[in-house]
Structure 1
Amino acid sequence: MGRANRGRRSRRCGTSWWLERLEDRIVPAIITVTSAADDGSGGITLREAIEAANTGTTVDGAVGTSGADTIQFAPVLAGQTITLGGTQLSISSALTINGLGASQLTISGNNTSRIFEVTSGNTVTISGLTLTNGYAATSIFSADGGAILSAGTLTISNSTISRNLAVGLGGGGGIFNTGLLTISNSTISENLAGYGGGIFNSNTLAISNSTISGNSASGDGGGIGNYCTSGDSLTLTINNSIISENSALDGNGGGILNEVGAGIARMTLSNSTISGNSTISGNGGGISNVIFDLELEGFIFGGDLTLTLNNSTISGNSAGGLPLSNGYNGGGISNSIQGSIGFLTLTLNNSTISGNSADGDGGGIINSIFGGDLTLTLNNSTISGNSAGHDGGGIRNFSEHAPPSGFLTLTLNNSTISGNSAGHDGGGISNFIIYGGYDLTLTLNNSTISGNSAVRNGGGICNDGYITASLRSTIVANNDAVGTGDDLYGTFRAEYSLIEQRAGATIRETVARSNRYGVDPLLGPLTDNGGPTETHALLPGSPAINRGFNGTPRSFDQRGLGFVRAVERTDIGAFEYQKKGSYVVPDLDNPTRRQVIVVGSPLNDTISVAVVSPTLNVTFNGKVQKFLIANIVGIVIQGNDGDDTITLTSLPVGVGGILYGGRGDDVLTGSKGNDILLGGDGDDRLLGIAGNDVLIGGEGSDSLTGGDGDDLLIGGVTLYDNIQSALLAIRTEWASALPKSTYAIRVQNLRQGLNGLPPLDPNTVFDGYYDELTADTTAGTGGLELLFADENDLLIGVVDGEQKVLVQ
């Protein structure tokens, strides 16, 4: 929509101007290291360059300033190792160190000293280096930070930190952080410490596009140890990263430990994998979350920890393994409130917990409380193939302590529990509360519990003790128990659910005759049926089809956007049977209004939509279906498999479309309105045409062209691709009135998640999977575009003079 209005600068009257003299300005120095030595024997060494920058003086030819200097390395040093002579390099000023590349330049502590210390109050950037053989110890006590000890603001990028050691009970074999630490495009591997084998963190840590692997702790936190105590606050953000093959030998948290007492911790993992981590004598093979009480000035305080997993996988982790042990718990995740107060909240969105094992309880997840309030919520997630030597192959919830009191709440929405096994009770889920002072609530909505097994009772779910368990629109079938209760054991409330085997359970119907008993739900195997997680499909003729709760249906099934609920009536379980064709369904926000839903076939489809007043005509592979325009507020088209061509030729005024290509190489063309186009898998071509559109390429090598209007183009995937409400909120903000005058405000609102909007930032926008290279093309023509891309994306078709924000 034309060029940005630059305008004129207005004159200001009565303003007092201060001008800095040129000779008073501080121009930071660029210092070039020319020698790999550490003894000052010739050339400029790294130690001399750092000293010059710290002091703002000249040291043996290295000229520093009082500004934020930069250290670089002469090309002649490529392939060499700078070996320290027995003492660390201390950084006490703002400084940038740009190496030649992690494969080209190494700094070694020579197994005699730490490599870097960053003191408090300083901002330091390190890139393009390998740091190895760092050694933190004193003659008497343990020491922290084998490679780096940081209390400042430290950014590490494109680097490798490997084979460093913090001796004894020291923390952070690779890095010990008490400041602000940001790591990107880096590897932290094979480091060793007492706590936090790879990283010890007690403040703020952000990791993106990185790998934390093969690190070990003799105590807690094999990969990362996060500690928040004494009223402190802690923030952890992990995005598009891998935490793998780390181990905690005699403590908790093989991959990650989060320990909070009298502090507040907020943690988010997005688009990441926690795999192959282990504890030998501790809980939480993948992740361990621990809340404990702390006495401060005569008062008892509990911790407050919130952990959210988005589009992430916890797989192949293990807890325990010592012979003759009493069993360790939580192969994937262990959540524990060990004090009388405290709050622990774990939320899984579009995530998978699979193939984890514990020789005690909770192969996938264990939740245990002494007191406090523990809440676990699963949305559109799958718990599969986990095993426990004792109870709770998939999930174990319990407390065996005498009161004070406590609250343990587990909620599953649109989720699947499948193929888990327990050596004792509860193949899928085990709930056990021995004392009445605790409140354990289990709620399952539109979920599927299938293919789980237990040696004793409750192949699907076992309830034992003071428990409230409710099932709504949930399938419990095809589970097995050697003892009692193949599917269910204990007392349950249920409505609009399908329970294949009732034996062993007392079921109280909250809606009379709404449940189905003794029938096979006709489920397909657990597999990729679309969406971010595996599901059990309902096969044709399933008795679960159109038998679910229809009061307040969810927008989509477990697979997310494009897999609509309530085509006629909702189905039971996590999967909604998709009948190809076009339908009109009530709008979830206002049932008096309607949405048109079009579901494609597994083959190559051609779908177009056009207004032919008074109807909206949908042409599906040559066949036309007509819908009265009155009260239509939106249209959603799901291409499914195949190479689909979907075109919005025209829509009613004020109506925007959502097009989802699904698998295959698709061509999606929007209307003149404000549309949302999602490519999905495959190499897709997205064309916004006109209006203020949101284009999301998805996986593969995609071409995105915004067309006229102000468009938001994202080369890869976002956290919100399967959440219609979030996408609609983003579109509403982006397409708001007076687009030119509010452009900067809209960008800020979306980038920062202001006014309750879903934020578009490095934690929510991903360009393909971690190990996948894409070659997306995003083109903005004639408008104000917000473009999300990285080094693998090519931006073309930019009209000269347009106002654009490029996020890389």
Structure 2
Amino acid sequence: MRNVLKWFGGAAVVLVLTALSIRPAAAIVVGPGNCNESGLSSALAAVDTPSGGTITFNCGTATINFTSGKQIANTVTIDGGGTITFDGGNAHGFFQFFFSSHVTLKGLTFQHGILSNGVRALENIGALRLDHVKVINNNSTRGPVLNSGTLDVVWSTFSGNSATSGTDGDGGAIENNGGSLSVLASTFNGNTAAHQGGAIFSNSDFSITNSTFNNNTGTGGGGAIYQEQGGNSILSFSTVVGNHSPVFGAGVYNDGGGSSQGTLTIFSSIVSGNETGNCDGLLQTGGYNLSNGTGCGGVFTGTGDLINQNLVMGALTNNGGPTQTMLPAAGNPAINHVPSGVCQLQYDQRGGGRPTGAACDSGAVEVGATIDLIFADGFE
């Protein structure tokens, strides 16, 4: 019995020492008085440890100018509360996320970042979540946001970004290169790729739901979205309207090339008014899609699919919720087009309830829905 008690006593000592060696996650507040790059770097050094941590700000509305990119390797949250802007001054990028990282960026604006020292504005090979984030006016020879890990984008806006190389400038906003990409309730507007994929370029899996693509340009194809090679992807309940490409697939394009032909399925979406064609390449339908021309005629042949429709849309604007959207005008056949039993979505892009009428609307917006303010304030 004495030996048994001795063993338990030793185990207890080990457990106590182990517990003492594990530090709790840090919670660091930047400001007031250090609302600058130095203050952010100090906070980042404190939380980017095996214990991880969270950075928040007591700076009011502030812009922090970056003079160098930062690296993150652990579990870190940076929450700007909707009042903090990171500015690269058209000279620097922001963050590189290592394979071991699990990072959430929330309530932040990233602007004027470029590819610097081989690193783009945001470069992820770990696990990254962009939540209520604005990525605006960032430029790179290739996509300003590179994902080769896991990237989740929710309630965010990508606007005015560009990939400028005519040979490998893919993904004016996001280049999903071998990673897994999920986009929910987000807007892509005015992004430009000098090569392919005005908003998003992907050669691997992606899922896009309740999102809006407008006025993006892919010079080499895929004005809004371009997929190539492998990857099994889906675009659902989204609005792809008024995008551009001088060659083909101004809305959505899948080239199906490479040794493994990927799939891109479109479901309950509006793909309309895109210059040089709404759909192109090897696409599949999940049904209940609508197009204003014949360009999707070889694809939109499933249940509820309609082509040659008069799909009058409102301008991209604030229709409620955290991101701008395009509201279908009265009489648009997308309204009440998806049977409620097929819809299986609780909210639209704005946080408005689905269905509102007898059925759900195709596209990103549910006309007439009451918006749940919990999504608008960023604290869902």
> Is the 1:416–1:448 contact (alpha carbons within 8 Å) kept by the matching residues of 2?
yes
Find the residue that maps to 1:285 and give its secondary structure: coil
CA shift at 1:157, angstroms? 1.7
1:308 alignment partner, one of 172, 182, 197: 182
1:429 Cα shift? 1.0
Aligned residue number for residue 143 of structure 2:
253
Instruction: State the structure with bigger RCO (CA 8 A, min sep 6), 1 or 2.
Output: 2
Structure-2 residue corresponding to 1:235:
127
Number of aligned positions between the proteins? 343
Find the aligned partners of 1:220 and 1:331 in 2 and give their Cα distance.
Answer: 22
- Which of 235, 245, 251 is the aligned partner of 1:394? 251
Distance 1:246 1:335 in 2: 19
Q: State the partner residue of 2:123.
A: 225
Deviation, structure 1 residue 461: 2.9
> Once the 2 structures are TM-superposed, how far is the Cα of residue 444 of structure 1 from its aligned partner?
4.5
Residue 179 of structure 1, CA deviation: 2.3
* Pair 1:445–1:558, CA change in 2 (3 A): farther
Q: Which residue of 1 aligns with 2:224?
A: 364
CA–CA separation in structure 1 for the residues paired with 2:152 and 2:44: 26
Tell me how far apart the structure 1 counterparts of residues 120 and 150 of structure 2 sit (CA, whole Å).
Answer: 20
Q: Which residue is 2:16 aligned to?
A: none
State the match for 1:207 in structure 2: 105
Structure showing the higher helix proportion among its residues: 2
What is the alpha-carbon distance in structure 2 between the residues aligned to residue 469 and residue 420 of structure 1? 16
One-letter code of the match for 2:146?
L
Answer with 1 or 2: which has the greater Rg: 1
**CA distance in 2: counterparts of 1:272 and 1:410, whole angstroms:** 23
Show the 5 A alignment for 1:113-262. Answer: 116=42, 124-125=46-47, 150=48, 152=50, 153-158=52-57, 162-165=64-67, 173-185=68-80, 186-190=84-88, 197-202=93-98, 203-218=101-116, 222-227=120-125, 234-248=126-140, 250=141, 252-254=142-144, 256-259=145-148
Q: Tell me the distance in 2 between the aligned counterparts of 1:161 and 1:180.
A: 24
What secondary structure, in the 3-state scheme, does the structure 2 residue paired with 1:388 have?
coil
Amino acid at match of 1:279: A
| 3-state secondary structure, aligned to 1:188 | strand
| 1:333 to 2:200 alignment | yes
Work out the CA distance in 1 between the residues paired with 2:180 and 2:94.
Answer: 22
1:132-531 aligned at under 5 Å gives the runs: 150=48, 152=50, 153-158=52-57, 162-165=64-67, 173-185=68-80, 186-190=84-88, 197-202=93-98, 203-218=101-116, 222-227=120-125, 234-248=126-140, 250=141, 252-254=142-144, 256-259=145-148, 265-281=149-165, 282-291=169-178, 305-320=179-194, 328-336=195-203, 344-369=204-229, 373-399=230-256, 405-422=259-276, 427-431=277-281, 440-450=282-292, 460-461=295-296, 470-477=301-308, 521=309, 523-526=311-314
Q: Distance in 1 between matches of 2:117 and 2:219?
A: 19
How many Å separate the matches in 1 of 2:171 and 2:71? Answer: 22
Q: Tell me the CA shift for residue 378 of structure 1.
A: 1.8
| Counterpart residue identity of residue 200, structure 2 | I
Please name the residue that 2:13 is paired with: none
Q: Is the 8 Å Cα contact of residues 368 and 397 (structure 1) preserved in structure 2?
A: yes
SS at match of 1:421: coil
Gaps of 5+ in 1: 1-15, 19-65, 70-93, 126-149, 166-172, 228-233, 260-264, 292-304, 321-327, 337-343, 432-439, 453-458, 478-520, 576-637, 642-661, 663-679, 682-697, 700-715, 718-767, 771-789, 791-807
Root-mean-square deviation over aligned CA pairs: 4.3
Q: Secondary structure at the match of 2:248?
A: coil
Q: Is the 8 A contact 1:557 1:563 kept in 2?
A: no
Counterpart amino acid of residue 296 in structure 2: I
CA deviation after TM superposition for structure 1 residue 522, in Å = 5.3
After superposition, what is the alpha-carbon deviation per residue over 1:569-602, rounded to whole angstroms, capped at 9, x for unaligned?
x9xx838xxxxxxxxxxxxxxxxxxxxxxxxxxx
Q: Contact 2:28/2:43 (CA < 8 Å) preserved in 1?
A: no
Report if the CA contact (8 A) 1:181-1:206 is conserved. yes
Displacement of 1:219 in angstroms is: 7.1
Distance 1:359 1:284 in 2: 11
Q: Percent identity?
A: 23
TM-score using structure 1 length? 0.37
The structural deviation recorded for 1:411 is: 1.7
